[in-house]
Amino acid sequence: MTRREKALIGLAVAHAVRCPYCIDAYTTGRLEQGCSRTEQMEAVHVAAAITGGAALVHGVQMRKRAQQLAMTLMSNPAGAFLPPPQAAAEARFKDLLRERHGVVFDDLVELTNMPISRSLEFLLGSGAYVEYMRKLSGAFNPAAVEGLMCRSTLSVGWDGRLYDCDFNQMLELPVASAARTISDYRDGLLEGRPIVVGVQVAQHELSTYDALLDRTVNLEIPA
């Protein structure tokens, strides 16, 4: 693990704790590249600390000491349904974590599952795809477009490749820019680029979408 890579992990730990699975993906990738035993163990320890309960405890302790760090938790449903109203869910989470673990946090962000990858496989396998798409289309909020994360953030793969968002990273759709990796990044290179959207599908997703086409039904999307 190079000094630059360690610095990037440190940056993620300090400022990007909202995305612990990025560190986990980084670790997996490094292990596949034939690192030394010492580097492997260091990477595993970093990932374990961030993706496990240690991250939550460490974050709480840091906040108590500094009193200037906000802690935001994220939650998404484990099924073919949309998340509950955010305000009610946040109040419930705060009560439970405070009572059971003594943990205090600032905000809760509710996530809605995108029908891609394992989520799509689950929806197809359970026969819930059509109904879930109806729920998604019925809950669409045009006002949310202004706040889409792809408008102000980037997702970085374990190998340094840049994506407009983590969904595009899952679909292996890199940014449409001269700066394709973090090593290529320069001020201004990513400004004004078009966000990658549309019907492009990653190669590993094709078999899943083929299964979807075999089950094609008429789906009315609200105007």
> What pTM was estimated for this model as a whole?
0.56
More confidently predicted of 118 and 14: 118
pLDDT per residue over 44-92, tens digit each?
A: 555 555 445 555 555 555 555 555 666 777 888 778 888 888 898 899 8
Cβ neighbours, 10 Å, residue 82: 15
Q: How far apart are CA 86 and CA 40, in angstroms?
A: 39
